[in-house]
Chain A
Amino acid sequence: MIIRRIHAENILRYKLLEMSDLPSHGRIFIAGPNESGKSAILETMCLAIFGRTSNLTNAMAGKAVRWGADSASVSLDFIGPDQNEYSIFRYFDADGVQRARLNGQDQETPLAQGVEEVNQAVVKVIGFDFQQFTSALYLTHGRHSHARPGETVKELAGVTALETLSGNLATEINATEAMIAARSRRQVEFTEQINILNIQEELLGKLENQRDHARQQVAMTASTIERWEGFDAGLVHAAKSIESAIQRLKKTSQEIGLASWLSRSNQLDAALKEVESICLGGYVEMETTPADSLRQWHSQLQGRLTALQNILEGVNDEQNRLLAWLGQPTNQPTPPAEESYATEAGRLEHTLTQSIRRRRRQGWAMRTFLFLAFVLWAVTGVVWQHQQNPTFLPVVTDLLAQHLPMWHLSQFMVILPAASFCTLIVFWNFIGRWRMQRKIGVTKASQKQLAQQADYAQSMVAAIYNAANQSLAHQVEILNAMEATPWGADLSSWVNEEGRPFLDEESLHHYLAGLDTQLSHFQSENTLYRDEAKVQRLAAVEENRVHQENVAALVKEVESEKARRQENVRLHAAIEIIVADNARDRRDMEMRRIARELLKGTCVELSSRFNQELHLFISRTAPLFTQGRYQHLRMDSDLNVEVFSVAKNDFVQVEELSTGVRRQLTLALRMSLAQALASRTGGAHFIALDEPFAYFDHQRCRESLDALSRISDKISQLFVIAQEFHNEIITSKLYIQCTGEQDRLILTAGH
Chain B
Amino acid sequence: MSLHESSESHTEFRLQDPIKLFETFSTEEMERRRQTDPNFNADLYQEARQLVLSRLHTGHFREISA
Chain A residues proximal to chain B, CB less than 8 Å: 123-124, 127-128, 155-162, 164-165, 168-169, 587, 590-592, 594-595, 598-599, 601-602, 605-606, 609-610, 612-613, 616-617, 672, 675-676, 678-680, 712
Contact = CB atoms under 8 A, between A and B. Distances in A.
Contact of A168 (B16, B47, B55, B66): B55
B64 A594 contact: no
A722 B1 CA distance: 47
Contact of B13 (A124, A127, A675): A675
Contacts of A155: 64
A158 B7 contact: no
Contacts of B49: 595, 598
A419 to B, nearest CB: 162
A599 B53 CA distance: 10
Contact of A613 (B15, B52, B55): B15
Nearest to A164: B64
A470 to B, nearest CB: 121
A229 B55 CA distance: 85
A158 B25 contact: no
Nearest to B11: A712
B16 A158 contact: yes
B15 A156 contact: yes
B45 A594 contact: yes
Contacts of A599: 22, 52
Given A169-B51, A712-B11, 12 more contacts: A124-B66, A158-B21, A160-B65, A590-B44, A595-B49, A598-B22, A598-B26, A601-B25, A606-B16, A610-B15, A613-B15, A675-B13
Contact of A165 (B13, B16, B29, B61): B61
26 contacts: A123-B63, A157-B15, A158-B15, A160-B65, A161-B18, A161-B65, A165-B52, A165-B56, A165-B61, A168-B55, A169-B51, A591-B44, A595-B49, A598-B25, A598-B29, A598-B48, A601-B25, A601-B29, A605-B21, A605-B25, A613-B15, A616-B7, A672-B13, A676-B15, A679-B15, A680-B15
Given A161-B65, A165-B55, A594-B48, A679 B13 contact: yes
A127 B61 CA distance: 14
B18 A592 contact: no
Nearest to B16: A609
B27 to A, nearest CB: 10
Contacts of B18: 158-159, 161-162, 602, 606
A160 B13 contact: no
A483 to B, nearest CB: 131
A672 B12 CA distance: 11
Pairs of residues from A and B, 8 with the lowest C-beta to C-beta distance, nearest first: A158-B18, A595-B48, A161-B65, A679-B13, A594-B48, A161-B64, A676-B13, A602-B22
Contacts of A594: 44-45, 48
A696 B15 CA distance: 32
A598 B21 contact: no
Contact of B12 (A160, A605, A679): A679
A161 B61 contact: yes
A167 B32 CA distance: 25
Contact of B47 (A123, A591, A601, A616): A591
A160 B66 CA distance: 11
Most A C-beta atoms less than 10 A away, residue of B26, B52, B55 = B52
Interface string B18-46: 10011001100100000000000000110
Contacts of A672: 13
Contacts of B65: 158, 160-161
A714 to B, nearest CB: 9
Nearest to A587: B44
B36 to A, nearest CB: 14
A169 B52 CA distance: 9
Contacts of B15: 156-158, 610, 613, 676, 679-680
Contacts of B51: 169, 591-592, 595
A124 to B, nearest CB: 7
B52 A595 contact: yes
A602 B10 CA distance: 24
Nearest to A598: B26
Contact of B66 (A127, A595, A598, A609): A127
Contacts of B66: 123-124, 127-128
Nearest to A607: B16
Nearest to B17: A158
Contacts of A680: 15
B2 to A, nearest CB: 11
A312 B9 CA distance: 155
Contacts of B56: 161-162, 165
Given A164-B64, A613-B13, A679-B12, A602 B48 contact: no
Give the most central of A598, A610, A679, A712: most B CB within 10 Å. Answer: A598
Contacts of A679: 12-15
B63 to A, nearest CB: 8
Contacts of B25: 598, 601-602, 605
Most buried by A among B13, B44, B56: B13
Nearest to B44: A591
Contacts of A678: 13
Contacts of A591: 44, 47-48, 51
Contacts of B61: 161, 164-165
Nearest to B26: A598
